[in-house]
């Protein structure tokens, strides 16, 4: 359906259709108080932390420089436990 | 200079902001599967943890087309989606993925699953196996392992918990003769990724059962999800096996650890460590692990 | 083209003309001839559809749900136990506002097991959100399926439609029907154009859960649209008549009821018998008439009220019983008449359960018992069986 044709038809009934990716407005950061701290010196770039994070909020913009999106990080600590190089520690976030 | 803002795009398939527990093995596994399958796919999802924590209207963590119907009809709804896409000539480009928990897959949806396999639809069915009906409060399922304590198979003065062994659904799936069946663990994520990539490029019915630890259901500190998942595999209690056209073609070898190392980490097995009877059950569980290690050749 | 065919074949012809993309059904007497004929038509390339041979009715409905959600037109047929087995899926399809047409072949429900006709099965599903149309004869069955897709896919409706036809009485009898040409049907029924679908180029999430803060509003909208769909049913019936020249009523058909003292109300094939009975009675000078209920959901309150406005007595011939309650159609008729200055007595006559023949004699008995003041009864009860037990 073209965008023009779509405009002429009714909107979907209430509650039937949910917009994709709309969960992004639900910031889960406040769920926890612990945040991962990444030690780039020890990091080997294995990408384990980024792979296993349940939120998918760990990224690296450069090799071996990892960071977590505190807007979504729930502070579970899986990344710190799973890091084979002990390059991640969990620290309490002070706002 | 501040870092650029975090961006989350459609090719991820599964976005943050979902309401999974911290440390949820399932959320982790789904993300890994979706990063390979998205964006040219359609997902059919059973009622359960994943569906509930990812789609409280008006929020959805899915950036791919996604549908939830009922608890036990995921294989059939997926069959209908597949048939429609086939008729539309889109099945070559668009993959059909189905997600269901162990309850939806092994128990209530078993008949529909068998029908889907028997008809050979081009669907990748991924079972998120956290070994109980977690979303409704940790009630036992056909996938609950022997001697685990759940809310409907609790350990008590006259019970050691679940008194039936785990239903071997991968073997049942393989017996249908479908092109590909595999077990995987979200803790061994490289292996999981390999299996997803392989499955998604095969035409026909595929079954992938992923072991996903559950912090509240199994009773452990949420940061230990990866460790505990590894112990399940390395003790032989969750063999990682691949079947093609009904025959075992590959297994992941393990450096075996005693089942005790796995069982003692979780509250659902803690009762076994408090009595002589419990000790006997642990020995039985070790026997089960040893049988599977031998059957699948998991140790050199 | 005129053909002398079984009612089941008329359904298959109609469904074929509606060009479904996905057909999925599970065999169950007396629907079997429909799905067998459709299978043959697919096997011969007469119908170009994916035929999914499911392992249960619950799956048949689910396959249709998935196919429609993915943007294709789908079809299924079932009856009795099959309808009850797919009941939760039917609620789901309507709740998700997916257009679909299913043939509900009317058959009694177990226990005891019966393969023969009555209306207990489809009437048990009157609250699912499905529109329900009841056909009088094979021609109407054929026409109704074509109309059903048009109604269901209308943006003002977006609710699934169940075309109800009496098992064996219509499915397994031969009548002459006029089968329209594909060109005629294509002109009337365009291809399915989904408002929303599962499409990677424009992804949506369908079937999210609704919390207490909004569930009520979603159900309100469904109810509102279901009631409003009555006008679409009427409109489509008129458009069909203009295109094909045939009329079987829209939501009702009033047969010689305008000046009748006693009016029967009924649905389905028994309407044909009742029309014969009315004509015979009229020959004898009796002022009787018939109100055919064509559309049971949504229930056509205003039309029923209007049609019965002159009646001195109303007799509802039911092929179902709400155990522990009354009839099923009767309370709906009574509710429609409620609150007026003059309300005629409404008799509930339960007949024809489990395939028991409803004959002219049965109707005579019903009239006589109604006029003698009985308000609710089973007609033609074999009391000798009851005394023996």
DSSP string, B241-264: EEEETTEEEEE-------HHHHHT
Which two structure tokens, joined as six digits, stand for C16? 């074929």
Residue C211 sits in the same domain as residue C260 = no
Q: Are β-strands B124-129 and C262-266 bridged in parallel, bridged antiparallel, or unpaired?
A: unpaired
- C149-180 pLDDT, tens per residue? 999 999 999 999 999 999 999 999 999 999 99
Residue C235 sits in the same domain as residue C352 = no
Determine the Cα–Cα distance for residues C366 and C31; give it in Å rounded to an integer.
30
What pLDDT does A95 receive? Answer: 65
* Nearest Cβ partner for B22 among A15, A67, A76: A76
Q: Parse chain A into domains and list their residue ranges.
A: 28-95
Residue C262 sits in the same domain as residue C238 = no
Write down which residue in C244, C265, C284 finishes a domain. Answer: C244
Q: What is the mean pLDDT of chain B?
A: 96
Q: How many domains does chain C have?
A: 2
Question: Does the beta carbon of B216 lie under 8 angstroms from any beta carbon of chain C?
Answer: no
Q: What phi and psi values does residue C134 have, to the nearest 5 degrees?
A: -115, 130
* Nearest Cβ partner for C89 among B51, B70, B87: B70
A19 vs C210: CB contact, 8 Å cut-off? no
Q: Parse chain B into domains and list their residue ranges.
A: 10-296
What pLDDT does A17 receive? Answer: 85
Residues in B closer than 8 angstroms to C74, CB to CB, are 80, 84
- C99-127 pLDDT, tens per residue? 999 999 999 999 999 999 999 999 999 99
Residue B111: pLDDT over 70: yes
Distance from CA of A21 to the nearest CA of C (A): 9
- C341-371 pLDDT, tens per residue? 889 999 999 999 999 999 999 999 999 999 9
Mean pLDDT across B85-109: 97
Write down which residue in C219, C244, C269 finishes a domain. Answer: C244
Residues in B closer than 8 angstroms to A19, CB to CB, are 58, 60
Q: Give the pLDDT band of residue C132 (cuts 50, 70, 90).
A: very high
**Burial zone of C253 (CB within 10 Å; 0-12 exposed, 13-18 middle, 19+ buried):** buried
Q: What phi and psi values does residue B278 have, to the nearest 5 degrees?
A: -60, -40
DSSP string, C250-266: SSEEEES-TT-SEEEEE
Which two structure tokens, joined as six digits, stand for B188? 């061994």
Closest CA to C207 of B165, B55, A35: B55
- Best residue in A2, A6, A7, A16 for a mutation probing chain C (most C CBs within 10 Å): A16
Question: Does the beta carbon of C306 lie under 8 angstroms from any beta carbon of chain A?
Answer: no
- C189-231 pLDDT, tens per residue? 999 999 999 999 999 999 999 999 999 999 999 999 999 999 9
What pLDDT does C30 receive? Answer: 97
- C272-329 pLDDT, tens per residue? 999 999 999 999 999 999 999 999 999 999 999 999 999 999 999 999 999 999 999 9
A18 vs C196: CB contact, 8 Å cut-off? no
Distance from CA of B173 to the nearest CA of C (A): 16
Residue A31: pLDDT over 70: yes
What pLDDT does B5 receive? Answer: 87
Mean pLDDT across B160-166: 96
What pLDDT does C388 receive? Answer: 73
Distances in whole angstroms, Cα of residue C22 to Cα of each of C56, C126, C165, C262: 16, 25, 22, 46
* Nearest Cβ partner for A81 among B19, B66, B223: B223
pTM of the model: 0.96
* Nearest Cβ partner for A14 among C194, C203, C217: C217
Mean pLDDT across A47-61: 96
Residue B11: pLDDT over 90: no
Q: What is the DSSP letter of A95?
A: -
Residue B2: pLDDT over 60: no
What pLDDT does B1 receive? Answer: 46
- B187-215 pLDDT, tens per residue? 999 999 999 999 999 999 999 999 999 99
Domain B10-296 class? alpha beta
Q: Give the pLDDT band of residue C387 (cuts 50, 70, 90).
A: confident
What pLDDT does A2 receive? Answer: 59
Domain span at residue C112 reads: 2-244
Residue C164 sits in the same domain as residue C136 = yes
Residue C364 sits in the same domain as residue C223 = no
Mean pLDDT across B291-295: 97
Residues in B closer than 8 angstroms to A15, CB to CB, are 57
Residue C371 sits in the same domain as residue C306 = yes
Which two structure tokens, joined as six digits, stand for C283? 């020959």
Task: Specify the CATH number of the domain A28-95.
Answer: 3.30.70.20
A14 vs C96: CB contact, 8 Å cut-off? no
Mean pLDDT across B239-260: 97
ipTM above 0.90, yes or no: yes
Distance from CA of B210 to the nearest CA of A (A): 14
> What is the CATH classification number for the domain harbouring C308?
3.40.50.920
What pLDDT does A5 receive? Answer: 58
């Amino acid at each position: 359906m073209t965008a023009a044709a779509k405009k002429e038809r009714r909107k979907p009934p209430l509650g039937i259709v949910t917009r994709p990716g709309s969960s992004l407005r639900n910031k889960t950061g406040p769920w926890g108080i612990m945040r991962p701290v990444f030690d780039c010196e020890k990091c080997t770039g294995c990408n384990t932390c980024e792979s296993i994070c349940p939120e998918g909020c760990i990224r690296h913009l450069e090799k071996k420089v990892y960071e977590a999106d505190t807007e979504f990080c729930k502070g579970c600590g899986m990344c710190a436990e799973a890091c084979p190089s002990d390059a991640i520690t969990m620290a309490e976030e002070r706002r | 200079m501040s870092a650029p803002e975090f961006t989350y795009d459609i090719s991820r398939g599964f976005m943050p902001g979902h309401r999974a527990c911290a440390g949820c093995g399932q959320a982790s596994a789904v993300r890994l599967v979706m990063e390979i399958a998205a964006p040219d796919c359609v997902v059919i999802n059973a009622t359960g943890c994943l569906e509930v924590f990812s789609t409280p209207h008006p929020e959805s963590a899915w950036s791919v087309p996604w549908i939830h119907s009922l608890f036990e009809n995921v294989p059939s709804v997926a069959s209908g989606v597949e048939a429609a896409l086939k008729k539309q000539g889109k099945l070559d480009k668009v993959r059909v993925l189905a997600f269901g928990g162990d309850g939806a897959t092994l128990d209530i949806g078993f008949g529909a699953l068998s029908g889907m396999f028997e008809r050979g639809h081009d669907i990748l069915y991924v079972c998120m196996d956290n070994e109980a009906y977690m979303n409704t409060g940790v009630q036992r399922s056909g996938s609950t392992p022997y001697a685990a304590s759940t809310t409907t198979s609790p350990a008590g003065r006259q019970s050691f918990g679940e008194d039936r062994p785990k239903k071997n659904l991968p073997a049942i799936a393989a017996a249908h003769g479908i092109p590909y069946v595999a077990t995987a663990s979200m803790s061994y994520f490289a292996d999981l990724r390999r299996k997803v990539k392989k499955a998604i490029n095969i035409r026909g019915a595929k079954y992938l059962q992923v072991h996903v630890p559950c912090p509240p259901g199994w009773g452990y500190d949420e940061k230990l999800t990866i460790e505990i998942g590894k112990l399940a595999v390395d003790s032989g209690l969750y063999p990682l096996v691949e079947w093609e056209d009904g025959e075992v073609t590959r297994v992941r070898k393990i450096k075996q650890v005693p089942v005790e190392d796995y069982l003692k980490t979780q509250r659902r097995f803690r009762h076994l460590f408090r009595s002589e009877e419990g000790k006997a059950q642990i020995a039985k569980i070790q026997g089960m692990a040893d049988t599977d290690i031998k059957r699948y050749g998991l140790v050199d | 083209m005129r053909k002398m065919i079984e009612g089941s074949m008329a359904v298959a012809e109609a469904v074929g003309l509606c060009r479904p993309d996905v057909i999925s059904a599970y065999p169950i007497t007396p629907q079997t001839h429909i799905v067998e004929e459709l299978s043959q038509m697919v096997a011969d390339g007469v119908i170009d559809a994916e035929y999914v041979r499911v392992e249960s009715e619950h799956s048949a409905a689910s396959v249709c749900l998935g196919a429609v959600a993915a943007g294709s037109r789908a079809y299924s047929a079932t009856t009795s136990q099959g309808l009850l087995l797919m009941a939760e899926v039917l609620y789901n399809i309507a709740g998700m506002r997916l257009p679909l047409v299913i043939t509900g072949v009317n058959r009694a429900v177990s226990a005891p097991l019966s393969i023969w006709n009555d209306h207990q099965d489809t009437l048990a599903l009157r609250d699912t959100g499905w529109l329900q149309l009841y056909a009088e004869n094979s021609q109407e069955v054929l026409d109704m399926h074509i109309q059903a897709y048009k109604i269901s896919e209308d943006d003002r409706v977006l609710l699934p439609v169940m075309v109800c036809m009496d098992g064996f009485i219509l499915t397994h009898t031969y009548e002459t029907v006029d089968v329209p040409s594909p060109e005629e049907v294509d002109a009337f029924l365009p291809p399915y154009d989904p408002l929303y679908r599962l499409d990677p180029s424009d992804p949506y999430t369908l079937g999210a859960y609704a919390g207490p803060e909004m569930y009520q509003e979603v159900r309100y909208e469904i109810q509102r649209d279901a009631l409003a769909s009555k006008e679409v049913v009427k409109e489509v019936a008129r458009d069909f008549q203009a295109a094909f020249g045939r009329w079987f009523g829209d939501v009702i058909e009033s047969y010689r009821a305008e000046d009748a003292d006693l009016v029967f109300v009924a649905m389905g094939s028994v309407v044909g018998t009742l029309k014969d009975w009315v004509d015979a009675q009229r020959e004898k000078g009796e002022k009787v008439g018939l109100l055919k209920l064509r559309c049971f959901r949504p229930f056509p309150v205003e039309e029923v009220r209007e049609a019965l406005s002159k009646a001195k007595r109303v007799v509802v011939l039911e092929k179902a019983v709400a155990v522990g309650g009354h009839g099923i159609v009767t309370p709906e008729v009574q509710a429609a008449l409620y609150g007026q200055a003059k309300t005629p007595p409404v008799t509930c006559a339960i007949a024809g359960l489990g395939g028991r023949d409803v004959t002219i004699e049965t109707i005579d008995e019903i009239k006589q018992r109604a006029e003698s003041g009985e308000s609710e009864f089973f007609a033609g009860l074999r009391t000798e069986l009851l005394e023996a037990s």
